[in-house]
Amino acid sequence: MSGGVTAPRGYRAAGVSAGIKANQGLDLALIVSETPATASGVFTLNKAQAASVLVSKEHLAKSGGTSRAIVVNSGCANACTGADGLQAARDMAAETAALLRCPVEQVLVASTGVIGVALPMDRVRAGLPVAVAALGADQGAAAARAIMTTDPFPKDAATSVAVGGRSFAIGGIAKGSGMIEPMMATMLAFVTTDAAVPKPLLDRALREAVDDTFNAITVDGDSSTNDCVFVLANGASGVTVDESSYGAFADGLRDVCRRLAIGIVRGGEGATKLVTVTVSGAASAADARTCAKAIANSLLVKTAIHGGDPNWGRLIAVAGRAGVAFDQSRATVTIGDIVLFSDGAPHDERAPKAAEYLKGTDLAVGVDLGVGHAASTVWTCDLSAEYVRINADYRT
């Protein structure tokens, strides 16, 4: 489906410029459910948590998991800004609630941008009425652009799910390009559905979807202070999810989250290649995920892929130091479908074919650890000089 976060019925969105960004780009987004929606969220595991994370956690607890709106600013993370920053996040929610005439605890808050900079609340206050006036069921794309920072393109996705002859929709938007290894989510992602989903099932589905998608991506191995994923379920379709239809809902949610997560990696800072890393033959799923993340975060692996160098030795070396069960005599390394190492022996005569494959932009590498049957897939990108340039001047 098209439409992103407003593809499900009963949602409106907006993206406007409030002057938070120096370039006067879109920097204030609203996502509003016409009726109170069941809400769930997951947040960064970073112990240095932004004011928006603290306030949104508090609001989810106070409301019992009921939300009407998500308000988001880009261009300022409002993280590590002390009591003033916490008050700014509370004020941002309160101003939104007043305009929408809903309880303040039914407003979730998210921020993204530079850490340690005060949020200009005068601009947020001036921008919020403009955003409310701009709300529309066709404005999901504007909201997707308004939450961007260094992202090269907006990310949105939506799908329709059929259950018992009826259908409901799931849609979402996300942002993230650098400081990405979420350990729970991505920098920011917001998902909506017009199904009615009881809170326990919504919480369960979100955790499961995040584990296989946003928790399975990395751009640079860094976890942000502001990461969060929210999902709202307002029931406007008339379809209620129960245990019998849970599988269909969970699959749809995972599909939307996966497309958003892969979009984040594809748009990683300085990225030129999307890389799918699969570790198989592991003793456990946890071992497979640990090794896949180690490979995906290896600077030597990422730079070799950027340069088109089929250096399989870097892959086997990471697998051997990942701290998981590993049998070199039974291990296999592949680039694409080309086996470059197996059963303890190299196949360097295949390197030219692998080098040709690495000229592509959508790539896959794999390692079989040779000790079991568990597997895990992680998505990452290459590491280029452009990544260094972007982050060398990010604040200055």
What are all long-range contacts of 326-330, with beta carbons under 8 Å and residues at least 24 apart? 326/291, 326/369, 326/370, 326/371, 327/369, 327/370, 327/371, 328/370, 329/370, 330/281, 330/368, 330/370, 330/371
Report the distance separating Cα 111 and Cα 163, nearest Å. 36
Which residues belong to CATH 3.10.20.340 in the chain? 274-392
What is the identity of the amino acid at 119? L
Question: What sign for the dihedral angle of Cα 144, 226, 255, 63?
Answer: negative
DSSP 3-state assignment of 52? helix
pLDDT value, residue 396:
64
Q: Find, among 376, 174, 211, 358, the residue nearest to 293 by Cα.
A: 376
Residues of the chain with pLDDT under 50: 184
Report the distance separating Cα 391 and Cα 396, nearest Å. 10
Is 186 catalytic? The answer is: yes
Report the distance separating Cα 35 and Cα 326, nearest Å. 53
CB-based contact 36:105 (threshold 8 Å): no
DSSP 137-203: TT-HHHHHHHT-SS-SS-EEEEEEEEETTEEEEEEEEEE-SSSB--SSS-SEEEEEESSB--HHHHH
Query: Structure tokens of 92?
Result: 């941002």
pLDDT value, residue 269:
87
Cα of 362 vs its chain's centroid, Å: 19
Q: CA dist 46 to 25, 184, 222, 223, Å? A: 29, 10, 10, 7
DSSP 3-state assignment of 222? coil
Instruction: Identify the DSSP state of 308.
Output: T
Radius of gyration for the alpha carbons in the chain, expressed in angstroms and rounded: 22
Query: 4-263: which CATH architecture?
Result: 4-Layer Sandwich (3.60)
pLDDT value, residue 186:
53
pLDDT value, residue 150:
86
Q: CA dist 43 to 53, 90, 225, Å? A: 7, 18, 9
Residue recorded with tokens 């929709």: 169
Residue from 6, 44, 186, 380 carrying the catalytic annotation: 186
pLDDT value, residue 130:
98
Which residues belong to CATH 3.60.70.12 in the chain? 4-263
pLDDT value, residue 395:
67
Q: Find, among 339, 322, 313, the residue nearest to 288 by Cα.
A: 322
pLDDT value, residue 189:
95
pLDDT value, residue 178:
74
What is the CATH T-level fold of the domain 274-392, as seen in this structure? Ubiquitin-like (UB roll) (3.10.20)
CB-based contact 210:42 (threshold 8 Å): yes
Report the distance separating Cα 200 and Cα 210, nearest Å. 16
